[in-house]
Amino acid sequence: MIRVVAAVDHDPQKAGRRLADLFPDFAGAGDVVVAADLATALAGAAERPELLYHLTESAPERIEGQLLAALAAGLDVLSASEAMFHPGLRHAGFADRLDRAAKAAGVTVSGTGINPGFSFDSLPLVLARASSGIRRVTITRAIDVTGTGPGDIDHVGYALWPDEFDEKIAAGRIVGHMGMPESIAVLAERLGIAIDRVEERWETATADFPVDSGTPSLGMIEPGRVIGITQTGIGLAGAEAVIRMSLIMYYDPERFGIAVADTIDIEGDHHVRARVEPAALSLLGAANVLVNATADVRAAPPGLFDVLEAPLAGARRGGFRYRLDPDTALRPGVVPLVRVAAS
């Protein structure tokens, strides 16, 4: 069972307020008061926390200090930052420092989410278990980004003018969705597919009418600004595209004729095609993936932990197993069960 005993938010509009007042529908808020920093939160916690759910920003240089502070405080950490999924690929120094800090403190640090973490990697890897000789993987994810938070807006590039978007992409000042090269590399590693590079490209869409961003800081997006981004990552072997991922990110996509869905196509000895409609929710989905990985991270050895190393089905959420009921006779068509605590 998970109990919330402390909360941290750097937003001065939230720090100092009761969690129950900020989120009245959250039954587990209790009497927790949001602190402005981790040290204050730990000092005021009714009982010692064991794990920190980390949901702040994406870039390694902006979160490393936060993560190291939590590890030094003796907390396991589960982060939603895209940079925390397979971080050794492009941020090896960052990954090594986290691994060493976690081992020194005897705790575990990991990261996951909806993508990366599920739609672009965990889910296709599960589907691929039903095939062999896999030659090509194509994944398309179309999502509604209405209500996206400021952290994502800053690095993805929503609501810019198209020319401004292109200039910032070329200069590396925005990156669109973070984590696609990592997801492609993970698929290639796990499925035994040879690639020699990953290439990314971005296409923008605009509207000739105002579009509601659903985010107070952004408000209505005026006509002509970017309201949709299609980002494609391609894993190539020479000139051949063997892994292709497309993320279609729109405000109110169905208004533009785009179905919100995850589609996965795996070409191999057995051709697997799957469609999740509607697509796994970005915000709620990421929260669920994090919470459902809690027991796996708590059970993992100290250090930087790859959630893909966790059991396929995850931990037992209820903490119990079913056994045959010894007091009820078996009969055709009926299997009597009794619930026992999982050992």
Domain ranges (residues) in the chain: 7-113+287-309, 122-280
H helix runs in 180-251, sequence order: 180-191
Q: Are 342 and 319 in contact (CB under 8 A)?
A: yes
The pLDDT value recorded for residue 152 is 73
Q: Are 133 and 268 in contact (CB under 8 A)?
A: yes
Class of domain 7-113+287-309: alpha beta
| Residues facing residue 45 across a β-bridge | none
Q: Are 139 and 263 in contact (CB under 8 A)?
A: yes
What are the mean pLDDT values of the chain's consecutive 10-residue runs (343 residues total)? Answer: 93 94 91 95 94 93 97 98 95 98 99 95 97 98 89 83 95 90 97 97 95 90 96 98 98 95 98 96 92 95 96 84 94 95 83
Backbone angles phi, psi at 92, to 5 degrees: -65, -40
Is the entire prediction scored with pTM above 0.85?
yes
Strand order in the sheet with 303-304: 51-54, 76-79, 108-111, 303-304
DSSP secondary-structure letter at 309?
A: G
Q: Are 123 and 320 in contact (CB under 8 A)?
A: no
**CA–CA separation, 61 and 38 (whole Å):** 18
**CA–CA separation, 87 and 314 (whole Å):** 22
The pLDDT value recorded for residue 148 is 82
The pLDDT value recorded for residue 1 is 81
The pLDDT value recorded for residue 317 is 81
The pLDDT value recorded for residue 315 is 81
The pLDDT value recorded for residue 194 is 97
